[in-house]
Structure formats: C-alpha cells, structure tokens
Structure 1
Amino acid sequence: MGNCELTILIVEDDESIRNILKSFIKQHGYNIITANDGIDGYHKFREASPDLVILDIMMPRMNGYDLLSKIRGSSDVPVILLTALGKEKDQSHGFDLEADDYIIKPFSYPILMKRIEAIFRRNKKINTVDKNTALIFGDLRVETARAEIYYKEEQIKFTPKEYELIKFMLEHKNQVFTRTHLLDILWGEDYYGNEKVVDNHIKNIRKKLDMELIETVWGMGYKIAGRNQEAPKR
C-alpha cells in the first residue's frame, strides 16, 4: 500500500478517466488532488506541491507538454504522462521535456500503480543520505549527501533520474553499460517502458553539461571514461 503522506496530482480532462484514476489510486493509500485542464492543473500544482503528477497531454486551455515545461521550470517532481498519443515522436518529445514515464492509453490500472510505486521507491533511494561526501570528475562535482550536482562551481538542475544516472555512471567509470543493463539497475525490473528512455535521459544530461561526460560506445552502450575532458565548443 502507498504512503498516506504522499500526494498525487491527476490532471485529466476526461471526467470518467479522472474519477476512476482518483478512486483506484486512493485505494492504495495516496492523497489525491485532481484538475480538469492544464491551467487548473498548474494552479493546483503551485498550491499543493504534490509528490507526483499524472498528466494527460491533449487538454483544453493548456496542453500537457506546456504544463510539463512550466512544472520543470521550478520543480523536479516526478511526472507521468498518461495519453492516447502513442507515436514515437510524441514519446520522445515527452522525455525531452523531462517526463519520468510515458504511458499510452488504453492502459492497465494495476500496471500504472506498479509504475507509481517504482518511482516513489527510486526517489526514496535518491533522497537517502549517502555517507560519501562527493564524486569528482574534472569540473563536475556530485554532492551525494545533498543529491546536488555542480559544474564549475555552479549548481546544475537535474531531474531525480538524471541525477541517479550520473551518480551511478561516475561510480562505475570505464565500465560499459547497455541500455537494458541501465534499465534493470536504475529503473528496476518492474519498469515496462521503452529502453529509449535511457537515450533521452542521456541526451538531456548532455544538453545541460558543457563537457564530455557519458560517452556512447557504438554497438554496446554507454560509459564514463577515466579522463576529464571538456567538450569542444560549438
């Protein structure tokens, strides 16, 4: 069962789906707040500071992509996109905007709960204080006790999953990990999504850092090399 201290915001314009989601997830022990469009959802998000957001994309007044962008402007709260848009380009755009998961309608309510619980488990691990003080790679410093990342002494904002990925890779420099391996380790065996979620998270990390950090090993996967080198200026 869930934690009654955790609050989930559901932003969905279809009243029947919204009510079913609310009833089903509430049965698992979570506090539920709902909104029926993007603008209402943003107001509820600002007021309630939820622990997770479940977000439809095709909504009136403000679509889910725009709402996710506004949320990411101030928060790294986990966001699940729940939508009928199933094309690869739609999913890729959602992950580019730093969604934590992307679920296509129609969907299984029990599997949705598994994904929600998996996200909360991962975030709990991230927020657990690490006895190590920092991981250093050139101008990059990961303060593990506070789950913060600095580049050239400037704090860079990462989502919980991006932070977890960077930290894991730094702890295993020079080792090559396939997408499947990273999914199993960082997303967990109960993750049912597309392995391209790994590529999208790494792409977002590269956008935020002006240095060569996670390298692609063609035909194999990804690694952090044991050298510290800034990326060439473009």
Structure 2
Amino acid sequence: MDKKIKILIVEDDESIRDILLAFIQQNGYLVMSAADGMAGYDLFVREAPQLVILDIMMPRMNGYDLLKKIREISDTPVILLTALGREQEQARGFDLLADDYIVKPFSHTILIKRIEAVLRRNRPDTPPDMIRHGDVQLLRNSCEIRFRDELIDFTPKEYELIKFMLENQDHVFTRNHLLDILWGEEYYGNEKIIDNHIKNIRKKLDCELIQTVWGMGYKISSKNTK
C-alpha cells in the first residue's frame, strides 16, 4: 500500500464521516474530510488528493455540483457515496464522470476494495512494456493479458489481434486487413476466422474492448476505457 495516497471524504453526516475516516486510515491511506461541498472543494484545491469519496445530499453545495466543479479542473477519480440508489440518480453520477457509485448502507470491506480498484484503474505509473485500456492490461515482455488483475488465457493469434488493435486505437480495420497483418498476404482462408477470434475474445473479457463498426470492420476506441 502506498501510504502517501491521499483520500478526501466529503460527507455531512458526522458519524458516517468519522467512521469512514477511521476505517480508511486503518487501511494505510492519508485521509482528510469536509462536512459540506464548499469546504470539500476548498480542501480539494488546496490538498490535491488522489481520490475523492463524495456524498450527494449535502448543504451549501451538493455532491453533483461539487463533482461538476472538480471535473472542470481535474480528472481525479471520484466515488459517489449516497442513499440515493435509483437508477436515474446513479446514471446522473456517471454522466458527470464519476468513477464509481456506492449506495448506503455498504460494507466497509467492499468500500476498500472499490477504492483499490478505482485507484488501480487510474494509476499513472504504467510500465513501458504495458498497454493499459480500462481494466485490460497487455504485457508485451511476457505476452500476457490481464483483466481486472486476473490473467486471461488467450491463443497466440488472439493475443496478437488484441495487441495490434491496442497499438492502433481508433483505427477501423477490415477483416482482410487483419488477415494480412496476422496471417500474411499468402493466407487464403475464410475471412470469417477474424469474426471467430473476436467472438472468443469477447467471451473471455467481460468488457466491450473490440467494437464492431457495421459495414466496415472492427476497432478499439481510446475513449471506451471505463
């Protein structure tokens, strides 16, 4: 655990705030807290935390408005923590670029796991041999692909297909182009083999990594990293 990681809690309920502060500190983080949105924003600007845990229903400035202000100046990860559990409220939080949403009551152990996951997805220290795309990590030196830190078993061609497309994000490739890249121009097999490989990749990864561009081919979007 990196004990220099700072987490800001913005929560108007003093009892919840104190419990969160103590529990998160016990797990090795530096923790600061604020009791309302205005104080939270001032503390955020002054202390530059690596993660914000943010209640929604607060005086002076609610959580949605504070999240908007944070996003105007920073992409620091934000976890919304609230009793508002309806789908439209969660959707609004994600529309405002929240990184996660936890509904009260919640397990403190699960909260720590969600904190670790969000920090892991947003850490900037990507090794030079790694390509990171959301929860997917490709390691060139060891020819491994991990999804949410779990090693996934891919065939050599599946690995090469993912690697090539990750190295060329936002480009749309036809089946024939991918055939030439992966099998060479002398390959005369059915181009549907590309569809089969992509189908197998999608079964192994619980995320929309490779997108279908109808009538054209396939791509990996650099914007689709959450």
Residues 170-209 of structure 1 mapped to structure 2, 5 A cutoff: 170=169, 175=198, 181-183=205-207
Residues 25-174 of structure 1 mapped to structure 2, 5 A cutoff: 25-124=24-123, 126-131=124-129, 170=169
Moved over 4 A (4+): 166-169, 171-174, 176-180, 213-217
Q: Does 1:7 align with 2:31?
A: no
Unpaired segments ≥5 residues, structure 2: 132-164, 174-197, 222-226
Cα distance change of structure 1 residues 173 and 22 upon mapping to structure 2, 3 Å threshold: farther
Provide the C-alpha distance between the structure 2 equivalents of 1:95 and 1:22, rounded to a whole number of angstroms: 24
1:130 to partner: Cα distance: 3.1
1:214 to partner: Cα distance: 5.2
1:215 to partner: Cα distance: 5.0
Identity %: 52
TM-score, length-normalised on structure 1?
Answer: 0.59
1:179 to partner: Cα distance: 9.9
Unpaired segments ≥5 residues, structure 1: 134-165, 184-197, 203-212, 218-223, 229-234
Which string of whole-angstrom CA distances, capped at 9 and with x for unpartnered residues, describes residues 42-76 of structure 1?
A: 00000000000000000001000010011011111
Which string of whole-angstrom CA distances, capped at 9 and with x for unpartnered residues, describes residues 183-232 of structure 1?
A: 5xxxxxxxxxxxxxx8xxx9xxxxxxxxxx95578xxxxxx82599xxxx
Name the SS for the 1:73 alignment partner.
helix
Number of residue-to-residue matches in the alignment: 161
Cα distance change of structure 1 residues 91 and 178 upon mapping to structure 2, 3 Å threshold: farther
1:128 to partner: Cα distance: 1.3
Which of 197, 218, 221 is equivalent to 1:225?
218
Q: CA RMSD in A?
A: 3.5
Alpha-carbon contact 2:12-2:59 (below 8 Å) kept: yes
Name the SS for the 2:94 alignment partner.
helix
TM-score, length-normalised on structure 2?
Answer: 0.61
